[in-house]
Amino acid sequence: MAKEHAVAKAKQATAQVREKAGHTTELAKGKTPELLMHTATQTAEHVREAASRAGHLAADKTPDAVREKAARAAHAAGSKWTALLSAGFALLVLLLMRRSRRNR
């Protein structure tokens, strides 16, 4: 029962955060000059490409034993996905609340 309640609260918080982020994104797009948006888009693309290359390089140089441990850890985390997701959203909500109180 508590687990279902936590999941429901996490879903509600997720919806609120997404709505607020979408609204904020639209406001920012409306106030941001076209040239700046273009530059930011190009920069984001370069960062994604660099991160991808770094990830591939790290994967190529990572010893097999470390990769196996990481895969086991990822699998263990995957089986507890709901709990991890709920905890993450709860932390996000707490941080947002703390930030909004600090700005008052």
Distance from CA of residue 38 to its chain's centroid? 23
For residue 1, give the 3-state DSSP assignment. coil
CA distance readout (Å), 3 to 29, 63, 102: 38, 38, 31
pLDDT at position 1 is 66
Per the listing, tokens 């609340």 go with: 97
pTM above 0.75? no
pLDDT at position 93 is 81
Q: Which residues of 4-17 are buried (b: 16+ CB within 10 A; e: fewer)?
A: eebeeebeebbeee
**pLDDT one-digit tens code per residue, 50-64:** 988 888 887 778 788
The segments of the chain whose pLDDT lies below 50 read: none
